[in-house]
Amino acid sequence: MGGAVSAGEDNDELIDNLKEAQYIRTELVEQAFRAIDRADYYLEEFKDNAYKDLAWKHGNIHLSAPCIYSEVMEALDLQPGLSFLNLGSGTGYLSSMVGLILGPFGVNHGVELHSDVIEYAKQKLDFFIKTSDSFDKFEFCEPSFVTGNCLEISPDCTQYDRVYCGAGVQKEHEDYMKNLLKVGGILVMPLEEKLTKITRTGPSAWETKKILAVSFAPLIQPNHADSGKSRLVHLPPVAVRSLQDLARIAIRGTLKKLIHQEALSRGGPGLKNPPRFKRRRVRRRRMETIVFLDKEVFASRISNPSDDNNNTHNPEDVEEERGDEEETPQASELKAEPPVNFLREKVLSLPLPDPLKYYLLYYREK
């Protein structure tokens, strides 16, 4: 059993591999993937497998393979301010990456069948907000999760700009999924063993594109044996931001602009990460048939605009990847100082009461 790309030593190398194989193709998606460490969503005893391009399942907790998530993120064509619905939101890993792109005025909702997974997702979300330095490089659309069967969403719920379903959708539920979309919206879901992108071009008009051959566990059908009644899932209302929240967003945005201007005047990177040296690694030809663990299979790429056009080297050839004009440094030279959180330093230097400083920092621990 193998993955579509080579295993990485850390999150950044995993993203490098996904970019090289063209699963990640846009800067926004790359930034979101780099900002959230995939290993943070694993149980401690399984973290050794976090940077492999494999699905992972433990009890009700499930993560799709990185190449699946990257194809989903690219297909959703995310933009700031959109509304997003994640059906089968699981650990919240995908919802959190989406939230980094949607920004503070987006909508980010998830429906998950298992209440224990909802609690796990909330813990991981809280850990990300409170401990990740990358959080300060974005304005975040925090996801909200509700427990229930995604096939029982209340008919009076709002429609969404973007919808993703993380379980296999039976053909009889295709129209149900489509009706969750606004006109102009995009739905991505596994349908008939294909990861499928559906765009709603009009009230009754659709465009469909097959992306990948996949095999997901199917959606669990509602069970009304106990009461005989449907348990409708009520999604969170689309709430208007409080004045206090808007003030925090505005102040943080102003400070970021100030930091950026100061950095430009000094020729520094500001809030951006400094350039990284890529490690020396073996370049492998992308495989055409892939099998994942736990009932999730990646069979082949259906849409592949650059199928090894210039890849004439032996799959075992080694390519030394270097910095722009310098040789790859030795391992001892790769140990750079931890990046500085300029926004945090700026907030802590303001002549404000400590409670207000902590509020501007989302009461974060670092």
Q: Which residues are catalytic?
A: 64
Distance between CA atoms of residues 350 and 364, nearest Å: 17
Indicate the helix (H) or strand (E) that contains 31. helix 27-35
b/e per residue 66-101 (b: at least 16 CB within 10 A): bbbbbbbbbbbbbeeebbbbbbbbbbbbbbbbbbbb
- Residue 32 burial (CB < 10 Å; 0-12/13-18/19+)? buried
Q: Percent helix, strand and coil across the chain, each rounded to 5?
A: 35, 20, 45
Tokens of 231: 């348990």
Distance of alpha carbon 182 from alpha carbon 47, whole angstroms: 38
Axis-axis angle for helices 27-35, 66-76 (nearest 10): 140
**What contacts 235, CB < 8 A, 6 or more positions away?**
85, 109, 111, 146, 153, 154, 157, 158
